[in-house]
Amino acid sequence: MSTQERPGTQERLVRSTQELLWERGYVGTSPKAILDRAGVGQGSMYHHFSGKSDLALAAIRRTAEAMQATAEECLSAPGTAYDRVAAYLLREREVLRGCPIGRMTQDRDVVRSAALRAPLDEMFGWLRGRIGEVLAEGQRRGEVSATLDPAATATTVAAVVQGGYVLARAADDPAPFDAAVHGVLALLAAQTTAGRPDSGATTD
């Protein structure tokens, strides 16, 4: 069987850890669960990684990189600043599973570890900065009101997404997430020169 048909041991460990961290969080993900999910024997983890924390860091970084790539695809797409932010907000998500990166901030052991916390802070920092850049570009193009604060608005957008996940999971219903997203889009539309009332056409 070729390596293309079956990923190597290290890759299976990282992928399995990504899945388990999303499902169970850091505390709930045991080394045994990782090994069972990856289908590898005991000792494989320590051949490639120094332990659970080292493997979790690799998995968190992989997830953060994937999330950044997906967000960038929306935020660098053609269209106005509003269109691009709306595309990010309205993209398809597994809402009831929550955010795989946001979930990590709820784990005490992750938050207490500077190493594990770093990719979370980097990802959210990048996201706020990138959305802020899009909005500032919209201001320069005359698409967005000059009174809008791009940095503060970008933070609001990121907070709405994370808060929307929490509300949706608490209700076991994606409706609160959708309401939060459309609410912030309505506020943003009021700050655009075109006054865009409808954002439905920007979904992925």
What are the pLDDT tens digits along the chain (204 aa)?
Answer: 344 456 798 999 999 999 999 999 999 999 999 999 999 887 888 888 988 999 999 999 999 999 999 999 999 999 999 999 999 999 999 999 999 999 999 899 999 999 999 999 999 999 999 999 999 999 999 999 999 999 999 999 999 999 999 999 999 999 999 999 999 999 999 999 864 444 443 333
Q: Residue 4's pLDDT is what?
A: 47
196 Cβ contact partners less than 8 Å away, ≥ 6 residues apart: 82, 189
Token output for 177: 């997430």
Q: Distance (Å, rounded) from C-alpha 137 to C-alpha 117?
A: 30
Phi, psi for 192 (deg, rounded to 5): -100, 150
Q: What predicted TM-score, i.e. pTM, was given to this entire model?
A: 0.87
Q: Residue 43's pLDDT is what?
A: 80
Place of tokens 């970084």: 61
Q: Residue 46's pLDDT is what?
A: 81
Q: Are 48 and 9 in contact (CB under 8 A)?
A: yes
Please report the domains of the chain, with CATH numbers, ordered by start residue: 9-193 (1.10.357.10)
Q: Residue 194's pLDDT is what?
A: 60
Q: Residue 178's pLDDT is what?
A: 98
Within 10 angstroms of residue 89's Cβ, the number of other Cβ atoms is: 24
- Of the candidates 162, 182, 192, the one whose C-alpha atom is nearest the C-alpha of residue 95 is 162
Q: Distance (Å, rounded) from C-alpha 52 to C-alpha 135?
A: 40
Token output for 50: 């120094």
